[in-house]
Amino acid sequence: MSPLELALSCPKAELHLHIEGSLEPELAFALAARNGIDFPYASVEALRAAYDFADLQSFLDLYYACADVLRTEADFHDLMLAYLRRAREDQIIHAEVFFDPQTHTARGIPFETVLRGLRAGAEAARSEWGMSTQLIMSFLRHLSEEDAFATLEQAMPFIDQIDGFGLDSSERGHPPSKFERVFARCRELGKPVVAHAGEEGPPAYIYEALDLLKVGRIDHGVRASEDPALMQRLAREGMPLTVCPLSNVRLRVFADMRQHSLPALLAQGLVVTLNSDDPAYFGGYLGANIRAVHAAFGFDAPTWQTLIANSFRASFVSAAQRAAWIAQVDAHFASA
């Protein structure tokens, strides 16, 4: 098998996936019809044609608008199951999935409706295919810390069903420091915390995520390559970066894939994982990200083995489960 075939066929984990960003236009139209919503696009093709983004904010505007079709527990169930069904085609056996409760509670959808639907979808994939899923509740950083605290309060009756906390949405002008207190509270609950940092924002935001939010992973982090001291620190601390190559190109963080900082991050020995972020909007799921990276950089088999083993190494499952999955990756590459 070629290095690319080995990578595509290997069992893997996805650690950076926004469930709302897996809403395909076909499902959006179906849910709009089911819920009697007058969707402001003429057709699936017209909606897809709008997927031409200048930056993160122009994407987020459409992403939040499309989320309006998600209304009922069944909608959230169907969304989660559709993603996990598609993820399975890319040999994903474990997914740590972000959801943005404030996108829904602000529209009057109860927190419980969102969570129950997502959990039911994950449970269906577990019983059908043995897939493992964790849920990471993300705070929207363009909103206030007070709003984040209120959302955490809504989550408390269901805290056992939440596996971690994250920070996403518009990065520029909304530094991690804005959420220092709410993240302290999340850590007190004994949950892992992560944050988007260094996607569009400067390396300074990565330092803040590490020092003030005390995250266990950095989501994106691709602008770390601009700061050699930060790169050394991330390597020394073994701090994982959940990198999303197609997303970065579609949101114009890099002009094209060959300009991506991924090779520089790997050369520094960082614990990089590959992920799809919002695959319905960015031109593909994890397999498509792997193909695009391979087309640009032509990585050898050991590099792919490292990237895929990292997806388990950086996951929030037990150490024993991590070791068992990494052994599967090693066996897959050894069989070549």
Binding site for ligand ADE (CB under 6 A): 18, 21, 56, 63, 168-169, 196, 199, 247, 277-278
**Active-site choice (199, 200, 208, 226):** 199
Residues 253-312 touching Zn ion, rule: CB under 5 A, are: 277
Assess 14 for contact with Zn ion (CB under 5 A). Answer: no
- CB 128 to ligand ADE: min, Å: 27
Residue whose beta carbon is closest to ligand ADE: 168
**Closer to ligand ADE at the Cβ: 232 or 259?**
259
In the bound state with ligand ADE, the residue whose beta carbon lies nearer, of 216 and 269, is 216
Smallest distance from the beta carbon of 246 to Zn ion, in angstroms? 12
| Backbone Cα Rg of the chain | 19
What, of Zn ion, ligand ADE, none, does residue 169 touch, CB below 5 to 8 Å by kind? Answer: ligand ADE
153 is catalytic: no
Closer by beta carbon to Zn ion, 151 or else 247: 247
Alpha helices in 133-213, H assignment, sequence order:
145-155, 180-188, 203-211
Q: Total residues contacting Zn ion (rule CB under 5 A)?
A: 1
Q: Is 96 in the site for Zn ion (CB under 5 A)?
A: no
Where are the strands (E) in the chain, listed by range?
Answer: 12-18, 92-99, 132-140, 164-168, 194-197, 217-220, 241-243, 272-274
The label of the residue with tokens 């069904």 reads: 85
Minimum Å gap between C-beta 333 and Zn ion is: 28
Q: What backbone torsions phi and psi does residue 197 show, to the nearest 5 degrees?
A: -160, 140
Q: Cα(43)–Cα(39) distance, rounded to whole angstroms?
A: 9
Of 18 and 294, CB closest to ligand ADE: 18
| Contact status, residue 105 vs residue 154, Cβ threshold 8 Å | yes
Angle at 66 (CA atoms; ends 65, 68), nearest 5 degrees: 75
Q: How far is the CB of 43 from ligand ADE (least distance, A)?
A: 24
Q: Report the alpha-carbon distance of residue 111 to residue 97 in Å, rounded.
A: 16
The rounded distance, in Å, linking the Cα atoms of 39 and 239 is 42
**Catalytically active residues, by annotation:** 199
What is the binding site for Zn ion (CB under 5 A)? 277
